[in-house]
Amino acid sequence: MRESFRDGLRPDPQIDFVEWANTHMRLTKESSVEPGQYRSSRTPWVEEPLIELSPQSPTTEVVFVKPTQIGATVLGNIFLFAIAHLYPGPAMMAMPTDDMAKKHSKKKVAPSVKAIPALRGKIRQEKSRTAGNTLLLKEFPGGSWTFTGSNSPTSARSASVRYLILDDYDGFVPEAGDEGAPGKLFKKRTDAYGNKKKIYINSTPTLAGASNIEREYETSSQGKYHVPCPHCGGMQYLIFGGKDFTHGIKFTRDPIKVWYVCEHCHAKIERWQIAGGSYIHKYPERKKRGFKINSLYSPLGWLSWETIVDEFLEAAADLKRGDPLGMKVWTNTRMADTWEEDGGQPEWVTLTTRAESYKTLQIPAGGLLLCAGVDTHDNRLDVAVKAYGPGEESWLVYWGSIWGDPELLQTWEQLDEILYRPYLHASGTELHIISMAIDTGGHRAQAVYNYARTRSPRVIAVKGASSRGKPIISRPGKVDVDVGGKVIKEGVDIWTVGTDIAKGTIYNRLKLVIPGPGFCHFPIGLEDEYYLQLTAEKLVKRYVKGFQVYEWVNTRAANHALDCEVYCLAAAYRAGMQTINWPSIAARLSVPITLLTEVPVTDRAMGRTVEPRPPRKQVRPRAPGGYTRPSWMG
């Protein structure tokens, strides 16, 4: 007791976190490819951020924009370990999900605690599982570590913390329940500590205009790690460049040979030594310190320039075929840059020429999962039915309108005909719609709730997200309440749809020219109006208070086909399309998996729109309940 009291009276030792790490930090086999004594000289770009996080610095907030596997999370762990050893206080590390937080605590933090002599006796060993020592809470004299996920609203609004880490910030859920953005909620927990708080935020960036770390970096000092040229000594930030750049990465193919051309003297550099570098800040006067680095700085033995170039060439080849996903991943994870979604409109006339020889209401061999999307209006329902296959390749099976006020029962009875009817597959087997998403926007939301409530889990009510960056489909929330205002657990769910991500995904796929993963197929007989509506929006950039934001805007009056496409995609994601065992379904339908993408493309033949016929067998609506994917879907 006396010793603890004396420890509390001692002033904080004057040691920054770089010195602490080089003296005390140990890397374990579980946390590093180079286990043993930590050396900041191996990754010198972490030194300035660590110094700013140290108590001796007046900085309260540090932002780190980084590629994958560059040491940013280890930096966060050093922060946690050093405060537990010398500067105790309540600390929290928030990650995208609770599962990630648990895994990090178990696989990275726990082994390190055992390996670091300075922490022995500070943190209880895992075998002594008490209230002060769990997977998500570790207590030590004078403070604690709390590990949590951004998907835990209660964690974002509970007790105050002095030290906060937001790890992989772009992976955070957009909203913590109904309480707002979790990152902002977590930050508010440090308010009580004023200028004694320390906040460390890191992430690999994602989509321009929707990236959390991009917004944080733009309001920071915007430091970039510069290194001196070994020939002329000129300081520069390493870039990939390109054929139009006089400096940066240059290479030959077959075999790949890579070098760097200096920005100043244009000397050829086979491999850059990262020693002697430092951050140059665009806005050095700003108190919020921002740091950025990319994969070109990876230490020898980690990620080579040859690998980076090889990945680029592979992504560039995909991009030339119309698939931008690989280049998006490369830009985010290697260059640590945001990806600007191509919101340019696909050419509707070009799409009409891609119509194929299958007919409306018939499913080609590759379509194995049948889903539907419904856009609601005051006087009708617009409906699309799509079949999806491996790689999220898709076939439009039906598109049309049900005329009538959604407040009227007969309007929904006509939708039942589409929902419950069988659809003939190329194999001769009949398929049924397994997931239907209906828009609740507009003036007929309650009518949608009533319909979805009695046809759950096959039918879900959806609502478009009001902000960018949300996933295509998010966890649902209850909307039914009893007379006392309490949520009815068995009531209808409403699912949030990330419309901007969905539209960007759809537009990228409409630009693909070769059938295969992501390609969109259309049947003969569609009217021009369908293609006009499908391509009725474009993504535009504008500035709000100096920050760039992106918005989808209509270039034509009607965009209902695009909305239905979005809801179909959301329905498919909700049905688990990304994890389905496609070979299992193909086997049940007697479709050889090798034939799934062999769909002939013919010239478009004009014809009249085919209306859905009445169902052969009326299926009674299923009782409310959670969605369970059939076992045969894998």
Instruction: Give the C-alpha separation, 88 to 473, whole Å.
Output: 41
* 414 is a domain residue: yes
Residue type, 625: G
Indicate if the pLDDT at residue 72 is higher than 50.
Answer: yes
* 630 is a domain residue: no
* 468 is a domain residue: yes
Domain boundary among 305, 320, 335: 320
Instruction: Give the C-alpha separation, 148 to 102, whole Å.
Output: 8
Residue type, 425: H
Task: Please report which confidence band the pLDDT of residue 274 belongs to, taking 50, 70 and 90 as the band edges.
Answer: confident
Provide the 10 A C-beta neighbour count for residue 82. 26
Mean pLDDT score across all residues of the chain: 85
Q: Please write the tens of the pLDDT for every residue from 556-601.
A: 889 999 999 999 999 999 999 988 888 888 888 887 755 554 333 3
Say if residue 247 is in the same domain as residue 372: no
Domain count for the chain, please give it: 3
Assign residue 60 the CATH number of its domain.
3.40.50.300
Backbone phi, then psi, for 20, in 5-degree steps?
-60, -45
Say if residue 196 is in the same domain as residue 234: no
* Residue of 145, 171, 199, 157 whose CA lies nearest to 68: 171
* 448 is a domain residue: yes
In 46-177, DSSP assigns E strands to 61-65, 90-95, 137-140, 143-149, 163-167
Say if residue 72 is in the same domain as residue 173: yes
In the prediction, which pLDDT does 410 show? 95
Say if residue 137 is in the same domain as residue 237: no
Q: Please write the tens of the pLDDT for every residue from 128-137.
A: 455 567 889 9
Say if residue 62 is in the same domain as residue 92: yes
DSSP class of 126: T
Say if residue 371 is in the same domain as residue 509: yes
Say if residue 215 is in the same domain as residue 228: no
Q: Please write the tens of the pLDDT for every residue from 25-40.
A: 999 988 788 899 999 9
Indicate if the pLDDT at residue 9 is higher than 60.
Answer: no
* Residue of 528, 539, 534 whose CA lies nearest to 510: 534
Q: Please write the tens of the pLDDT for every residue from 150-179.
A: 887 676 666 799 999 999 999 888 776 666
Cβ contacts of 341 within 8 Å, gap of 6 or more: 207, 208, 504, 508, 539, 550
Write the Ramachandran bin of 424: left for phi over 0, alpha for psi from -120 to 50, otherwise beta.
beta
Say if residue 388 is in the same domain as residue 496: yes
Q: 151: number of CA atoms within 13 Å, CB side? A: 11
Domain boundary among 170, 196, 219: 219
Pairing status of strand 520-521 against strand 394-403: parallel
Cβ contacts of 518 within 8 Å, gap of 6 or more: 323, 325, 391, 392, 393, 508, 509, 512
In this prediction, what percent of the chain has a pLDDT beyond 70?
Answer: 85
* 622 is a domain residue: no
Q: Please write the tens of the pLDDT for every residue from 431-474.
A: 999 999 999 987 889 999 999 999 989 999 999 986 777 889 98
In the prediction, which pLDDT does 122 show? 87
Q: Please write the tens of the pLDDT for every residue from 183-222.
A: 999 999 999 999 999 999 999 998 887 789 999 999 999 9
Pairing status of strand 163-167 against strand 198-203: parallel
In the prediction, which pLDDT does 257 show? 93
Say if residue 352 is in the same domain as residue 314: no
* 338 is a domain residue: no
Say if residue 457 is in the same domain as residue 597: yes
**Mean pLDDT, residues 14-26 taken together:** 94
Contact yes or no for 204/337 (Cβ under 8 A): no
Say if residue 205 is in the same domain as residue 226: no
Sign of the C-alpha dihedral computed for residues 139, 145, 149 and 151 taken in this order: positive
In this prediction, what percent of the chain has a pLDDT beyond 90?
Answer: 62
Instruction: Give the C-alpha separation, 416 to 419, whole Å.
Output: 5
pTM of the model: 0.68
* 332 is a domain residue: no
* 623 is a domain residue: no
Say if residue 353 is in the same domain as residue 401: yes
In the prediction, which pLDDT does 188 show? 93
The structure tokens listed for 15 are 């040691």
Assign residue 382 the CATH number of its domain.
3.30.420
Q: Which domain holds residue 499?
A: 348-612
Write the Ramachandran bin of 496: left for phi over 0, alpha for psi from -120 to 50, otherwise beta.
beta
